[in-house]
Amino acid sequence: MALRGALSRLLRTQLGRTCQQSRAQSVAVLGAPFSRGQKRRGVEHGPKVIRDAGLIERLSSLDYSVHDFGDLNFHHLEKDEPYMDVKFPRTVGGANKKLSGAVSRAIGAGHTLVMLGGDHSLAIGSVSGHAQQCPDLCLIWVDAHADLNTPMTSPSGNLHGQPVAFMLKELQDKMPDIPGFSWIKPFLSSRDLVYIGLRDVDPGEHHILKNLGIQYFTMRDIDRLGIQRIMEVTFDHLLSRKQRPIHLSFDIDAFDPSLAPATGTPANGGLTYREGIYIAEEIHNTGLLSVMDLVEVNPLLGANREAVEATASLAVDVITSSLGQTREGAHASIDDVPTVKDDTEQLCL
């Protein structure tokens, strides 16, 4: 079993990506300071604190050509009444439309893209923009929550708990025409999605997961199988039919709150540091990562400065590990280790 997994990983690395093959050496960073997809303000400051934690410098040390495109500016409507209990639908829809276009342009220009949120409703725009350039993409969603509610199943009406429902073709007849979202049509099949780290799933989401046969791994699964086996099954599920671009959407609350306290919807019993970084490393090792979202870092919810800095630093570690930083360190290459000359050679000199 271990040999088969190793051979599978080697094959994926050799084949590389199918969308924009030249992208590997160019990384674009795009901030999306947006918080209207959920009730807690502060997550709009996520892009700044992640950059302040040294993201650009760390990426540059990995020998990428790094392009920081700054932050998008989003328009917040003064009057944006709820629709079927969905909060701020026009504002969220407009922000995601803008983000979708920006992501599509960055991918079309040949970059690997890192999108810094912001709340997780932004994945609607990020993944859809990616799909415009790479329609055969697959999605790995690392999160404590499934974010799979429809407007009719959502307990809160917050759109950061509903982004995946906008993407799935199988849910098209379950989604009403929400103001602000006329621009998007479902583009992803349920078989092209894997969840990792779930531990706080709503009843409607659980029904959808089971009914559509979506591949998902809870924290219990990780405890039972180990993170290495989880990643092997993930890649077999998504990449065994063909090699295609990976979209990684990573919510910082996938980690245990002891590691990532500055976030809006923490849930106990999350990923350890080693498990989260292993996920990122293995995705990098496929050679297929095309777009990554890092969302839900909220500096206003940290109990103190140390909590905010720890969460932002963890976000940087996840991003850089997804792009090639290894725990054995990044080292300049040398051709050989110098040989010590013996005493006779030293005397002759």
Annotated active-site residue in 192, 202, 256, 296? 296
Peptide bond into 118 cis (omega under 30): yes
The answer to whether 247 is a known ligand-binding residue is no
Helices (H), 262-341: 273-285, 305-322
Rg (CA), the chain: 21
The one catalytic residue in 200, 253, 275, 317 is 253
Q: Please confirm, yes or no, whether 143 is among the known catalytic residues.
A: yes
* 253 labelled binding-site residue: yes
Active site residue 147: yes
Question: For this structure, is 336 an active site residue?
Answer: no
Sign of CA dihedral 113, 136, 181, 43: negative
Interior angle at CA 62, CA 331 and CA 28, nearest 5: 175
Does 251 qualify as catalytic in the annotation? Answer: yes
45, 111, 160, 284: the catalytic one is 160
User: Residue 296 catalytic?
Assistant: yes
H-helix or E-strand spanning residue 183: none
Q: Which one of 44, 80, 119, 143 is the catalytic residue?
A: 143
Annotated binding-site residue? 236: no
202 in a known ligand binding site: no
Q: Which of 71, 147, 202, 232 is catalytic?
A: 147
Q: Is 124 helix (H, G, I), strand (E, B) or coil?
A: helix
Give yes or no: 236 in active site.
no
Catalytic choice (45, 130, 145, 247): 145
3-state DSSP assignment of residue 185: coil
Tell whether 120 is in a known binding site.
yes
Told to judge if 111 belongs to the known catalytic residues of this protein, a careful annotator would answer no
Element (H, E) at 70: strand 65-71
Catalytic residue among 45, 71, 111, 120: 120
- Residue 292, strand partner residues: 114, 248
- Comparing CA positions, the residue from 46, 28, 91 lying closest to residue 251 is 46
Residues 6+ apart with CB under 8 A from 219: 197, 198, 199, 269, 270, 271
Give the separation between CA 144 and CA 265, rounded to whole angstroms: 9
200 in a labelled binding site: no
Q: Note if 192 is an active site residue.
A: no
Summarize the annotated binding site as residue ranges: 120, 143, 145, 147, 251, 253
Summarize the annotated binding site for Mn(2+) as residue ranges: 120, 143, 145, 147, 251, 253
Tell me the catalytic residues. 120, 143, 145, 147, 160, 251, 253, 296
